[in-house]
Amino acid sequence: MKVVTICLPKRYVSGIEDLVEQSKYPNRSEAIRIAIRDMLVDELWGSRAQKRPSVPLVSQLTETSPTEETTPP
């Protein structure tokens, strides 16, 4: 695997940590890896990719939930 460094809003990290504490995932890395895998399946590799209008995911996320500032600390 390749190491990738990302910056996330604090509430995303808090949510991921909550899921790990609830034993839904073994650690933060695995939770993020699964989320990315699921997004790739949905957006690129799955049957939904062909049925969905071509709206960028960033636009969809912006419309559905406000994001916190993502400037690195």
23, 11 in Cβ contact below 8 A?
no
Summarised one tens digit per residue, pLDDT across range 3-43 is 999 999 999 999 999 999 999 999 999 999 999 999 999 88
1, 66 in Cβ contact below 8 A?
no
Per-residue pLDDT, 43: 86
Domain boundaries, the chain: 10-64
Kindly indicate the confidence band of residue 67, based on its pLDDT and cuts at 50, 70 and 90: low
Kindly indicate the confidence band of residue 54, based on its pLDDT and cuts at 50, 70 and 90: low
Q: Which residue has the higher pLDDT, 70 or 36?
A: 36
Q: Which residue has the tokens 């939930």?
A: 65
